[in-house]
Amino acid sequence: MIIDVPELSLVALVGISGSGKSTFARAHFKPTQVLSSDFFRGLIADDENDQSASADAFETLHYVAGKRLTAGRLTVVDATNLQAHARAGLVKVAREHDVLPVAIVLDVPEALAWERTQAREDRTFDRRVLTRMSRDLRRSLNQLAKEGFRKIHVLRGVDEIAAAEIRYEKLF
């Protein structure tokens, strides 16, 4: 599956924990193109899982995203992006910098994401949290276009995710 991405855009990855966002980002983008909420929580709080640092982490992430977009550099946001308010912040940054907000949704079965999550030492939340994320994801799918995302790519299942290829669209 070809994923068309404007050469200069703000790409939001969207998916529950364990859906493979960070893995996808590593496979398709340069490390410096990817701004991850975990990384920014770590910068602020010395702990990537410290949720109390989230507000500062996202404020900083948005700031850096803005600087990159001003410089004309594609920027990918690796966070769950399951909440409308989180996505609204990204749409706002994109609009302020006159670039298109793009969503790439990774939709995998919750059972698979849970299996992956349990195998990780850096993830300790319980199953109910993942179930809530799945519900948020279903809700998100209907909302992305209304929220202002101009291209929405939904990759369903591991095979579609594995087969995805990014194709950059030239800006004129």
Beta strands in the chain (DSSP E): 2-6, 9-14, 34-36, 75-78, 100-107, 151-156, 165-169
User: CB-wise, 22 or 54, nearer to Mg ion?
Assistant: 22
18 binds, among Mg ion, ligand CTP, none (CB under 5 to 8 A by kind): ligand CTP
Q: Does residue 23 interact with Mg ion by CB under 5 A?
A: no
CB 58 within 8 A of CB 157: no
CA pair distance 45, 37, nearest whole angstrom: 12
Q: Which of 22, 33, 60, 83 contacts Mg ion by CB under 5 A? A: 22
Q: Which of 73, 92, 116, 150 contacts ligand CTP by CB under 6 A? A: 116
Two structure tokens written together for 52: 């109390």
Q: Does residue 61 interact with ligand CTP by CB under 6 A?
A: no
Kindly state the number of chain residues that form the binding site for ligand CTP, as judged by CB under 6 A: 13
CA pair distance 152, 146, nearest whole angstrom: 11
Sign of torsion over alpha carbons 54, 55, 57, 58: positive
150 binds, among Mg ion, ligand CTP, none (CB under 5 to 8 A by kind): none
CB of 134 vs Mg ion, minimal distance in Å? 16
Q: Which of 5, 9, 14, 18 contacts ligand CTP by CB under 6 A? A: 18
